[in-house]
Amino acid sequence: MFRGSRYAPLWLVLAALVLTAQAPAGWVTVQATQQAPLLSGFATVQPGTPVTIMALQAGILTSLSVVPGDTVKPGQMIGQLGGPQIAAALATAQGASNAANAALAAERGKFADHLSTKVAVAQAEAAAASARAQLAALHAAAGLQSPVDGQVQSLAAGPGTALQPGQLVAVVQPAAGAWVKAVFYGLRAATLSPGAAARFNPANGQPAVPVTLRGVQGTQPDGGVVLAFSGAGLLPGEAGTLSLSLPPRPVLLVPSEALVMDDGRWWVMLRDPQGDRPVQVVPGTTEGTETPILSGLSAGDQVIVQDAALLYHRGIAAQYQPPD
């Protein structure tokens, strides 16, 4: 990669450099060719909105079955509340449920002996169902469940902790909602349209993940354009690279060996009837044996390839006049 390029497109050559049939060996005539550049930049997977798991009633955290980093499924039990308050509440609810069930059984017996009515039986059934529901709700409130599929991000309490209703116990990062943050450089990055297809390549060697551009998030102080991409199967915290194809555009290619570096600048030697001469150019990223020229050349220019560096420095030396 040439250091003059702020971002690193990987040039997908659609048409090669055209050489004139009459051109002698050592130089080429360049023409504009259509190429589809591929932007590539550093990317990280950002989490979606975290989900909190809180105590639904007062009690003591008697057990906790997860640690940060564990994966959880919807409805998975991660902890249990206990203690005197919960035990007393459960005992009261269990007693009420037992009494309601006994009253229902008695009412049904009376109805069988023609000593009760359907309305009285229905009322007893409703009372028993309500008591059972209250008992089930207390049992459910004593358990701590993950509401989503995701990863435990942090824990705010441990076994033995006395908890109040609404007190935080754990934070879970949902698997859904993760997005890719990618940073690109160059003017074209800011002009990309939402919906563009791209690929996130994890640094750990896992298979690439197809993603879709959501939009531009902003610009960094160093000029990098921050883009947001969405996709399935993304793991928060992963790092890698993101590649994105751009629409084809005309470019000029020259053989890489035609380029000469001098004092931090790039040059090529142009073939001229009045004498070969150096021309400063701005190269893009080399792909294979050819390099795109971003500025400094025009279609139809004849660029010397063979011994370009020797000719360049010979010309510089010829311009040097030693003092008298």
User: Residue 303 has what pLDDT?
Assistant: 92
For residue 135, which of 185, 186, 175, 99 has the smallest C-alpha distance?
A: 99
Mean pLDDT score across all residues of the chain: 82
User: What's 41-48+177-245's CATH class?
Assistant: mainly beta
Tens of pLDDT along 53-86?
A: 998 888 899 999 999 989 899 889 999 998 888 8
pLDDT of residue 9: 41
Is the distance from CB of 175 to CB of 238 less than 8 angstroms? no
- Of 16, 70, 21, give the one whose Cα is nearest residue 254: 16
Q: Which two structure tokens, joined as six digits, stand for 80?
A: 């249990």
Angle between helices 118-142 and 84-112 (to 10 degrees): 160
Looking at the domain 51-174, which fold is it? OB fold (Dihydrolipoamide Acetyltransferase, E2P) (2.40.50)
Helices H / strands E in the chain, number of each: 3, 23
Top-confidence residue, 303 or 185:
303
Is it true that 41-48+177-245 and 51-174 share their CATH fold? no
Where do the domains of the chain lie? 12-37+249-319, 41-48+177-245, 51-174
The pLDDT assigned to 321 comes to 58
Reported as a single tens digit per residue, the pLDDT across 251-296 is 888 999 999 999 889 999 998 888 889 999 988 877 778 888 888 9
Name the strand (E) or helix (H) holding 228.
Answer: strand 225-230
pLDDT in tens, 145-154: 888 888 898 9
Cβ proximity of 217 and 79 under 8 Å: no
Most confident stretch, 13-17, 100-104, 193-197: 100-104
Question: Which stretch of 128-132, 146-150, 155-159, 237-241 has the lowest confidence by average pLDDT?
Answer: 146-150
- pLDDT for position 20: 35
* Whole-number pLDDT of residue 307: 87
Beta bridge partners of 155: 170
Tokens of 47: 């989490």
User: Among 65-69, 171-175, 203-207, which stretch is predicted with the lowest mean pLDDT?
Assistant: 171-175
Residue 5's pLDDT is: 39
At the topology level, CATH places domain 12-37+249-319 in 2.40.420
